[in-house]
Every structure is written in structure tokens, then in C-alpha cells.
Amino acid sequence: MFEPNEWFTEVVEDEGSAFSLKVTEKLHEEQTPYQLIEVYATAGFGNLMVIDGFVMLTSRDNFLYHEMMSHPALFTHPDPRRVCIIGGGDCGTLREVLKHDGVETVVQIDIDEGVTLAAECFFPELTASNEDPRARLLFADGIRWIQETPPGSLDLIIVDSTDPVGPAVGLFTADFYADCARALDQGGILVQQSESPLYHMPILTDMHIAMRAAGFGDTRSLFFPQTVYPSGWMTATLAGKGDSALGAVRVADIRAKPFDTQYYNAEIHQAALAQPEFFRRALTTALETAQTAQTANA
């Protein structure tokens, strides 16, 4: 039984840490065929969405994640017109993508319509662009959708998924990345949320290895704060197909952008590409080990 002024706490047992928010009211609870969705009102962070006991977003700080999952990739690709979002049921990333006038079509595929319905009720600011004629919302299996997508039909794929558990496990595999590479046109970019660099380096290194094994020529991780996620430090990882230059930021276009952002700007983009030394060492070692193993098995 929920009592007002309790604390919602997400425990990271392996790391001996936890993050808590004071909650004043339970607004919603729903067990969908895929997951348990809960929404709370909090004392300091607005509304809070929780899925299977894990914090998904709050009203106060979701802009950090949604802006960094969208704008860096969009301002790296020279002309992103055809965009696909896998997951992203809260529609915050979709809203950010649709701020770009050059984007012609955005297809969002999330397996659980319940997330979007909850967002419409309790986070309406995130779903404000859902009626944009360029957007199409599908509630289906994103892995299968990518498999069935015509080759070269997309410029940008954004994987805005939950952690690699439950329905999202298949979104962190070499087979999925290979399907994404096939669906992308030359110069296309894949971007995926890639967890905390402090807590989840094995996930990050495995992701870089799998993306490169799937045919992506370059991979880079972006670093940004995210208050309510484990460790408070988050990454998104970019993978470029063919001659995509992931370090080629369209700085002039960012500075001339006709829309507002709360966190993202040209300087943030460039700074987010800088690699902490522990990350650089771990990734270099992992990639060299994978290359050696590949050579030995050739």
C-alpha cells in the first residue's frame, strides 16, 4: 500500500548504491503484457515514470537524455531526412527529432503502447509533437521491423530502449546491429543509449565490438549527466556506416538552429565526444583483444 511522502528507491545491488526520490502520490499503475508501468508525483522532480522498478524519466531532467539521444546524431549526419526510433515510447526523443525541419519522416516503433498512453496522460509535454504529419507511431516489435525494412531506406536509427533486460535484450546484439547497418543508407548513423560508463563498461565495450563486427566503420560514445539514472552519468553510442564521419560536427548549423534546447549546444556536443582516460584504456584493450581473436580465427 502506497503512503504519501514515501521514498521511491532504485537499488543497484552490484554497486552498493541507490537513488531515491520523495514521492507524494501514486498516479498510475499498469501491468501490460510486457512490463509494469508506474507513475508517481514527486516532491522535487515532477512526475516520475518507473518500469519494472527502474526509473525511466522524470519531468525535471528528461531533457538531458532526450536531447543527447537525438541532436548529436542529427547534427553529425550531413542531411538526415529519414529517421527511425526503436523504443522511445515516452515520445520525448521523437519530439526532439521533429524540431529539425529537414527531417521528412520519423517512424517510432515501441513494443508497448502502454508507455505512450501513460506519457500522454502524465508527461503531455513529451507527446506534444505526436500529431506532426511527419511522424508515424507503431506499436510492434522493433527488431522485426528493422529486419523487414528495405536496405538503404534510413539515414538515422535511434535506439531509445530500456536497459538490456526483458524485451530490450535483443537490441544489444551483433545481429540487430547488422540489420541496422543494412537498413541504413551510406553515411547513415545508428545511435543507442549505452548505460553508465562508471557502472557498465562491459556493456559499453561489448557494444562497440558488436557494432564494428556488424560492419560499422566508426563508433564513438557521448558522455552526459543524467541525475536519476544509476551513477548519474550516462552515455549514448554512435555507429557510422561507410564514410560517416562521427567527429564531423556541423557547428555552424547547431549555432543557427531555429529551436530551443535546455542542455545541448555546439560546445556540449564537442565536449561530449571527449573520452575519459579509464574509458579510452578499457575500450582500446577490448577492441585490440577482439581484433586479435578475429585474426586468429580467420
Average model confidence (pLDDT) across the chain: 94
The residue that leads in pLDDT, 35 or 173, is 35
Is the pLDDT score of 101 beyond 90? yes
Cβ distance 109 to 84 under 8 Å? yes
pLDDT for 212: 94
Per the annotation, the verdict on 160 as an active-site residue is yes
- Shared domain for 85 and 128, answered yes or no, is yes
Into how many domains does the chain fold? 2
Share of the chain above pLDDT 70, in %: 95
pLDDT for 1: 59
- Shared domain for 22 and 170, answered yes or no, is no
pLDDT for 164: 59
Is the pLDDT score of 114 beyond 60? yes
Decide if 120 is inside a domain: yes
pLDDT for 245: 81
- Shared domain for 39 and 88, answered yes or no, is no
- Shared domain for 47 and 159, answered yes or no, is no
- Shared domain for 44 and 80, answered yes or no, is no
- Shared domain for 23 and 110, answered yes or no, is no
Q: How confident is the model at residue 210 (pLDDT cuts 50, 70, 90)?
A: very high
Give the model confidence (pLDDT) of 157-198 as tens digits.
Answer: 999 986 655 555 666 788 999 999 999 999 999 999 999 999
Decide if 106 is inside a domain: yes
Give the model confidence (pLDDT) of 258-295 as tens digits.
Answer: 999 999 999 999 999 999 999 999 999 999 999 888 77
Give the model confidence (pLDDT) of 221-272 as tens digits.
Answer: 999 999 999 999 999 999 999 877 898 899 999 999 999 999 999 999 999 9
User: At CB < 8 A and 24+ separation, what contacts does 246-255 make?
Assistant: 246/76, 246/189, 246/218, 246/219, 246/220, 247/220, 247/273, 248/76, 249/72, 249/75, 249/76, 249/273, 250/75, 250/76, 250/78, 253/75, 254/71, 254/75
- Shared domain for 99 and 245, answered yes or no, is yes
Is the pLDDT score of 127 beyond 70? yes
Decide if 150 is inside a domain: yes
Looking at 31, 58, 85, the residue that finishes a domain is 58
Decide if 11 is inside a domain: yes
Decide if 278 is inside a domain: yes
> Whole-prediction pTM value?
0.95
The domain that holds 30 is classified in CATH as 2.30.140.10
pLDDT for 162: 64
The domain that holds 261 is classified in CATH as 3.40.50.150
- Shared domain for 51 and 176, answered yes or no, is no
- Shared domain for 184 and 246, answered yes or no, is yes
- Shared domain for 138 and 15, answered yes or no, is no
- Shared domain for 13 and 146, answered yes or no, is no
Q: How confident is the model at residue 62 (pLDDT cuts 50, 70, 90)?
A: very high
Which structural domain range is residue 185 located in?
62-297
Q: Which of 61, 110, 112, 160 is catalytic?
A: 160
- Shared domain for 291 and 152, answered yes or no, is yes
Q: What contacts 18, CB < 8 A, 6 or more positions away? A: 9, 10, 11, 12
Cell of 139: 506499436
Decide if 179 is inside a domain: yes
| CA–CA gap between residue 219 and residue 183 (Å, rounded) | 17
pLDDT for 296: 80
pLDDT for 295: 79
Decide if 1 is inside a domain: no
pLDDT for 32: 97
pLDDT for 264: 98
Decide if 182 is inside a domain: yes
